[in-house]
Amino acid sequence: MHCAHFVAGRCQSCQWLAMPYAEQLALKQQQLLQLVSPLAPLEILSPVASQQQACRYKAKMVVQGSCEAPLLGIINQQGQAVDLADCPLYPPAFAAVFAVIKQLISRAQLTPYDIATRRGELKYVLLQQSYHSGHFMLRLVLRSKNCLAALQKHLPWLLASLPALSVVSVNLQPKPAALLEGPEEILLTEQALLREQLNQVPLYLSPQSFFQINPELAARLYATAATWTAELTQQGVPIRHLWDLFCGVGGFGLHLASNEVALTGIEIAPSAIASAKQAAAELGLTQVDFRALDSAAFATAAVSPPDLLVVNPPRRGLGVELVTAIKQLAPAYIIYSSCNANSLAADLTLLDNYQLLRVQLFDLFAHSSHYEVLTLLQQRAKTA
Can you list the positions of beta strands (E) in the chain? 43-44, 58-65, 70-75, 81-83, 122-129, 136-142, 165-172, 184-187, 194-198, 201-205, 241-245, 262-267, 288-292, 308-311, 333-338, 354-362, 372-379
Burial class (CB in 10 A: 0-12, 13-18, 19+), 215: buried
Nearest 5°: CA angle at 268, between 263 and 273? 50
- Position 171 scores a pLDDT of 97
- Position 106 scores a pLDDT of 97
CA pair distance 136, 205, nearest whole angstrom: 11
Residue 248's closest CA among 228, 262, 266, 226? 266
**pLDDT higher than 70, residue 384:** no
How does pLDDT run across 89-129, given as a tens digit for each residue? 999 999 999 999 999 999 999 999 998 899 999 999 999 99
How does pLDDT run across 70-83, given as a tens digit for each residue? 999 999 989 899 99
- Position 38 scores a pLDDT of 96
- Position 315 scores a pLDDT of 95
Average pLDDT score over the chain: 96
- Position 364 scores a pLDDT of 96
How does pLDDT run across 252-295, given as a tens digit for each residue? 999 999 989 999 999 999 999 999 999 999 999 999 999 999 99
**Residue 339 annotated to the active site:** yes
Percent of the chain with pLDDT over 90: 95
- Position 87 scores a pLDDT of 97
pTM: 0.96
Report the amino acid identity of residue 84: L
Name, in order, each residue with C-beta under 8 angstroms of 383's C-beta and a sequence gap of 6 or more: none
How does pLDDT run across 337-378, given as a tens digit for each residue? 999 999 999 999 999 999 999 999 999 999 999 999 999 999
Backbone angles phi, psi at 92, to 5 degrees: -55, -30
Q: What is the mean pLDDT of residues 2-7?
A: 94
Reported as a pLDDT band with limits 50, 70 and 90, residue 198 is very high
Tell me the H-state helices in 264-355.
270-283, 295-301, 320-329, 341-350
Residue of 3, 14, 247, 339 marked active site: 339
Helix, strand, or coil here: 137? Answer: strand
DSSP structure string for 234-249 = HTT----EEEEET-TT
Residue 322's closest CA among 337, 301, 338, 308? 301
**pLDDT higher than 90, residue 189:** yes
- Position 342 scores a pLDDT of 97
**pLDDT higher than 70, residue 383:** no
